[in-house]
Amino acid sequence: MNKVQDAVVDMYEQLPVPYGLVRFGVAPDHPEVKNCQDTFEEAAKSPLFNYIGNVRVGYDVELAKMKPHYDAILFSYGASEDKKLGIPGEETKGVYSAREFVGWYNGLPQFQHLAPDLASGDKAVVIGQGNVALDVARILLTPVDKLRHTDITEQALQTLSQSRVKDVKVVGRRGPLQVSFTVKEVRELMHIEDVAFRPVDLLADINPKKLPRVQRRITELLKKGTESLPQGAQRSWGLEFLQSPKSMNATESNQLSSVTFTKQAYAPDADSLSPTASVVSTNETSTLPASFAFRSVGYKSVAIPGFSDLGIPFDTKLGIIPNDPYGRIITSSAGPGNLTAGHLPGLYCAGWVKRGPTGVIASTMADAFTSADVIAEDWNANVPFLNSERSDNRSTGLGWEGVRADVEAKGVRALSWEDWKRIDLAERQRGEKKGKLRDKFGSVEEMLQVLDT
């Protein structure tokens, strides 16, 4: 926002700690991915930036109360829910969403009580074939000693060290050339010590040389497989294709015992080599024994309470705030000024809530820069912003100070960037003692306690 002279940015975060999915989503054995935090640290050093941690917008502070004090509000609150399969048995014990499981091993306070009993069985099924699914498979299969020095939680290390899981199947609705995971993630799984990959029959007749680059590389990797053979290895994994989940089946004690799938076939007009090939259900079913199933079919954003007070629509089907391609929030019932028809003055979005729950950090940062650029562009073009109905055309300019008393009266303790840095230091120091990068606090209470010592 340095393109607007003297613009002050208040960043509200519902947790005491920043970084969203970079901290709570990105796998602990991918520390290099988290280097983007350095870029965020740089931005936070600006005297024009304020971090307001531990304050949940729409709950601890109402949007209608924020509005008079800001010229613009940008929503980039990610995707806090996940898509369900909508099949019988989804609530069975042993069935988890990837979001819960990933949040659990990464220390997200909300999921620290998950307690997956990975010692109660040896077969796991992961439903979905994206990178998050492969993250889940890799964490289940990686020897626990390889994770000890990462920032995975101590609780997760303990549970994983007792895990009996030795067979992971990653199941997709479409075929091997329609997967959405990437080469790097497959390669990592192929290189885990003493973990074998079961070859994919469907690839036998496919000549990788005839495929586009990305598909070719994935196909070559899958055809090559691992050096360890399934019969000799401690653990193994495999990919199952053209299977759509039909039901989760339970034992009498409501523990998952198997997952039934409806077999899929390529649609009559589909080209099975095309990444967009569609499939249709057949009458055949198949059942995989499993003690654990991880649903990894996508995250989902939801609306924040109070959107209607500001006239903000929400597309529940796509799970996004409707916006023009640049991040201006649009609605069919507005159309002010000389902007794209329907832009709600002063309201913008970025990240997963802008374009849906896909894309990596680099693409998320790129579209955040675009959203910031259009705010600057609009500001410099003198178009209406929030509070343009007021006689002076402007907000009070108070920002956080305009709502602070109200938030604090609710007993909410707002945190500054300096507060976060103290929590950060405490986590690093705890980690150092255990030979880890950091040892995360698993609850908001523990994080806040650091500030009282």
Q: Is residue 65 close enough to count as binding ligand FAD by CB under 6 A?
A: no
Task: Look at the chain and count its residues.
Answer: 453
Residue 138 assigned ligand-binding role: no
Among 77, 197, 292, 420, binds ligand FAD (CB under 6 A): 77
Spatial separation of the C-alpha atoms in residues 367 and 326, rounded to whole Å: 8
CB neighbour class for 53 (10 Å; exposed up to 12, middle 13-18, buried from 19): buried
Residue 353 assigned ligand-binding role: no
Among 95, 189, 304, 423, binds ligand FAD (CB under 6 A): 304
Window of 13-21, 152-160, 190-198, 267-275 that interacts with ligand FAD by CB under 6 A:
13-21
Among 181, 237, 352, 379, binds ligand FAD (CB under 6 A): 352
Q: Is residue 155 close enough to count as binding ligand FAD by CB under 6 A?
A: no
Spatial separation of the C-alpha atoms in residues 365 and 153, rounded to whole Å: 27
Number of C-alpha atoms within 13 angstroms, CB side, residue 165? 29
Q: Is residue 306 close enough to count as binding ligand FAD by CB under 6 A?
A: no
Q: Is residue 12 close enough to count as binding ligand FAD by CB under 6 A?
A: yes
b/e burial code for range 157-195 (CB count within 10 A of at least 16 → b): bebbeebebbbbbbbbbbbbbbbebeeebbebbbebeeb
Closest CA to 376 of 332, 336, 327, 340: 327
Among 78, 208, 238, 289, binds ligand FAD (CB under 6 A): 78
Residue 225 assigned ligand-binding role: no
Among 153, 257, 364, 371, binds ligand FAD (CB under 6 A): 364
Window of 74-82, 142-150, 248-256, 306-314 that interacts with ligand FAD by CB under 6 A:
74-82
Q: Is residue 135 close enough to count as binding ligand FAD by CB under 6 A?
A: yes
Residue 193 assigned ligand-binding role: no
H or E element, residue 168: strand 167-171
Q: What letter does residue 33 receive in the DSSP assignment?
A: G
Residue 125 assigned ligand-binding role: no
Tell how far CA 448 is from the center of its chain.
Answer: 25
Q: Which two tokens stand for residue 24?
A: 């709570």
Q: What letter does residue 101 receive in the DSSP assignment?
A: H
Q: Is residue 322 close enough to count as binding ligand FAD by CB under 6 A?
A: no
For 256, residues 6+ apart whose C-beta sits below 8 A from its C-beta are 89, 92, 93, 94, 95, 248, 249, 250, 290, 291, 292, 293
Q: Is residue 94 close enough to count as binding ligand FAD by CB under 6 A?
A: no
Q: What angle do CA 46, 47, 49 make, to 5 degrees?
A: 70
We find the least distance from the C-beta atom of residue 168 to ligand FAD, in angstroms, to be 16
- Identity of the residue, 38 or 269, whose beta carbon is nearer to ligand FAD in the bound complex: 38
Residue 284 assigned ligand-binding role: no
Binding residues for NADP(+), by number, are 129-132, 173-174, 185, 359
Binding residues for FAD, by number, are 13, 21, 57, 352, 359-361
List interacting residues with ligand FAD (CB under 6 A): 12-15, 20-22, 25-26, 30, 33, 56-58, 76-78, 80, 102, 132, 135, 299, 304, 351-352, 359-361, 364
